[in-house]
Every structure is written in C-alpha cells, then in structure tokens.
Structure 1
Amino acid sequence: MGVFVTAAKPQPKALNRAFLLIQDFEHADYPEDSHWTLITSKEAPSDVPPATVLPIPDISDNNAFTLSSMAEINTFIRQNEDLMTKMGVLVERPGLLSIRRGSRRRRALSANRSTSSRSAGRAEFRACRLPYEEASSMIVNLDMANMDFEDFVDEDAGEQEDGSWMWMSFPPSTKDTEEESEGEAKREVALKELRDGGYAD
C-alpha cells in the first residue's frame, strides 16, 4: 500500500511513529507482514518496491509530494496505474494513505476511490481524516469490499472545507472490559523499541 507524506519538513521521529501506528498489529505479524511503502519520488520505479523498513531517515529535502493536494496525488497515481495496481493502491476499493502532518496530532488521511465521480475514465478520491491506528482497518475493509466508505464517516457532518470527511468511530463493544488487546500490546512494544532507539517521539 502506498504512503504519501505531504507535510512540510516532517520530523523523522514523528514520521516513524506515524508509520508504525498505521501497521496492522491485530491481524498481521509486524514487521514481516507489512505492506506499507513510502513513496517520495515521482519517478516511478520499474518494479514494485518493497515495504518500507523503520526507522525512516529524514525525507524533508527529497520528498516530491511535499504540500501536494489530493488532486495532485491522484494525478500521479493515474499516470502510473500499472505499478500502483501491483502495489495494491488501485484495486476494486483501493486505499491510499497520506500523512499530512507528521506531528502529535495522530491524524492521517485515508482515501477511497469514488466510483460515482469518474470523469474521462479517471476516478477521483474521497478522503477521511482518522487516527493513525484506524487507517489499516479502514483500508483493509474497503479492499475486501465488506464495508463502504460511508460506514466510516460522519455523513451528517458532511464534507469538510479541505475536501475530507470526518471519521466516525464504531459504537463501543458490549463487552465490559478495558483490557488491552493483543494487537495493542504488540504495538506498544514496537513503539517502545523505536523510542528506546531514539527513532520515535
């Protein structure tokens, strides 16, 4: 899955933390099963690049997508459809993640191709701003086509000024427990290792 960072001069520690939090710790083994690839160049590689390994170095001076809009990222994807399809960015219900502000705000932008807004064969994206930890679940469920974009957003709030939609969490579980899940525990261990190494905040 492709990851685009549009923040201006993202701090490496904040970026590493964000990149870790989007990983699937509930249903996959990290880092072996990571499918996230950071894309920083508009020169598309000849083949599918491997998943990005943490820690990520400072990308401030070599990130071609700094301050890019969703429309600009969409254009890049459409110009490289074959490769993006192989990377899993373009599937029946694709997921695209753009970390706009590598900061403590803990918010990412997850986008789904809209099948109702095609123009001249080009599909646009609708975006949902959501917590990093929720990004993997949303994208996987959209990819599996067992849930729709509307299931994750606050339709009453409508589209926001920046073109994104507000994420809406699911009702709390009826199970009366506050115990940390196995996935959450694994995430905290991995995050601690990054912090102890000085790679995350």
Structure 2
Amino acid sequence: MSDSDSDSGQCQWAVFLTAKVPTKVVNRALLLIQGFEFSENLGDGNWTLLTSEDLSEKSPPPTSAPLTKDQRNDFAGKSLAEVNTFVRSNAVRLEELGFVVDLWLVLDDAGLVPLGTDPAAASTSTSTSNGVLCKQCFAGGDEDEIETWGYTDDFETLRAPLDQTWEVFAGLNSGAEFLDFQDTDCTVQADGTTKFNPEARREVTNADVLERKRKAWHAWRDQGFIE
C-alpha cells in the first residue's frame, strides 16, 4: 500500500450525498448518524462523506468536522443504482483506501427533505429524517465451488432513521442480515427500498452518552453550522 493510501487501521464507512440540500441540512444529518455511544468525540467516528469520484488522492479522514460551505459533489442527483455502479467499479481502490466495500450509506432527497422543512426537526437532535443503507449481494454457498463465490452487481437497500444508521451499519458489518432490521413483511416501498422495523430501534439512555450528544448539538448550533 502506498503512502497515499489509508494507514489508520480503522475501516471507514462511505457516505454518499445524492440530495441537493443546503450545507446546514447536511451537517445536521452528519450529527444524526454519529455513534456517540461508541466514541468519545466526533473525531473517533467511522463515517466518511465521499464527494469526489476521483479516488487517486489520499483517502479522506472520517468526517468529524461540520461542512462550512457548499462544495463540489460528484454524486449529487445520482440514483442508488448509479452509486452502486461506482462502488462496484472502484471496489479495489476503495478497499485500498480503507473503506468497507460491501456496505454504504446514501443521504438522498427523500430522506433529508423532512430534515430541512419540518420546524420540529430544526429544533431537536432527532427527526423523521432517514438514509438508505445499501448492502452488496453475495453469491455462493456450501454446495458451490469456492471459485464461484463473490459479490454480484445486485444490492439490497434499507431506509432507516438517521439516528439508527450507526447501529444498523455496525450490525450488518458484523454479520447481521437485513432481515434483522426490516419490518416483518419486508415491505418494499415506492422507491424500491425496504422499510425499517420500529421494533429494531435502539434508544440511548446512558447519561454520559446523552451529554456528549447534547454538547455536540449545542456546539454546532452555537457556531452556526446547523439551524
């Protein structure tokens, strides 16, 4: 691995922003997906917002700081299928850069619109906003030749509340299945994504975690990074 590649030893989780929304809306989404229960501060996170299709440079660090202005985003307006094509076409390079290549998160217009327009969401750290967790399909089983095993071009999707995405992503990355988080009927919605099971929702009750979360929200709001 070259000097331009990742040497942190920590797997990064790719986030793709396909929504065309203001920077403050993106920042609020970035706070919602943070795993405050599993990190002492934002700099310890795994999520990395990818905005460029050019992967020739050194891997960007986990996105722990708020965005201060609108920036170029090669993925704006892309469909879930187009993001999947990018991941599949660049799987080797993404893995070299330290990314998990069979799981990623998409922040799309359908999920972030409520975040930017709902007055209640603007004043709290939780909302009805959601993102699409995507998982590459794997082909192969005990009765198949090992040489035929591998990821296919197909992928599964789950639309989940943003404040639950850390927990769901970590579970999927550790071997859980989408069925563990989908509603009991595996309902496919109009946009092709499956529906999150409310019973899989995990609430944070630890006082220290809630305090870290509160401080982060107040700090970003006081500095004008979020509404």
Under TM normalisation by the shorter chain, which class is it?
0.7 to 0.9
Structure with greater helix percent: 2
CA shift for structure 1 position 20: 1.2
Residues 82 and 29 of structure 1: CA distance in aligned 2, closer, same or farther (over 3 Å) = farther
Report the AA paired with residue 84 of structure 1: L
Report the AA paired with residue 89 of structure 1: V
CA shift for structure 1 position 11: 1.1
Q: Is the 8 A contact 1:48 1:83 kept in 2?
A: no
Structure 2 residue 167 is matched with structure 1 residue 150:
no
Residues 181 and 157 of structure 1: CA distance in aligned 2, closer, same or farther (over 3 Å) = farther
Q: Please give the TM-score of this superposition, normalised by the length of structure 2.
A: 0.74
Counterpart mapping for 1:16-27 below 5 A: 16-27=27-38
Structure 2 residue 79 is matched with structure 1 residue 69:
yes
Q: Please give the TM-score of this superposition, normalised by the length of structure 1.
A: 0.83
Paired residue for 1:126, among 149, 156, 181?
Answer: 156
Distance, in Å, in 1 between the alignment partners of 2:219 and 2:191 is: 35
Identity of aligned residues (%): 27
CA shift for structure 1 position 199: 0.5
Q: Is the 8 A contact 1:47 1:83 kept in 2?
A: no
- Report what 2:144 is aligned to: none
Structure 2 residue 126 is matched with structure 1 residue 100:
no
Q: Partner of 2:165: helix, strand, or coil?
A: helix
CA shift for structure 1 position 127: 1.2
- Report what 2:193 is aligned to: 164
Alignment RMSD: 2.7
* Matched length: 191
Q: Is the 8 A contact 1:70 1:125 kept in 2?
A: no
Q: Partner of 1:170: helix, strand, or coil?
A: helix
Q: Is the 8 A contact 2:182 2:197 kept in 1?
A: yes
CA shift for structure 1 position 108: 1.2
* CA displacement 1:123-143 (0-9 Å, x = unmatched): 322111111110011011111
Structure 2 residue 152 is matched with structure 1 residue 141:
no
**Unpaired segments ≥5 residues, structure 2:** 1-12, 116-127, 141-147
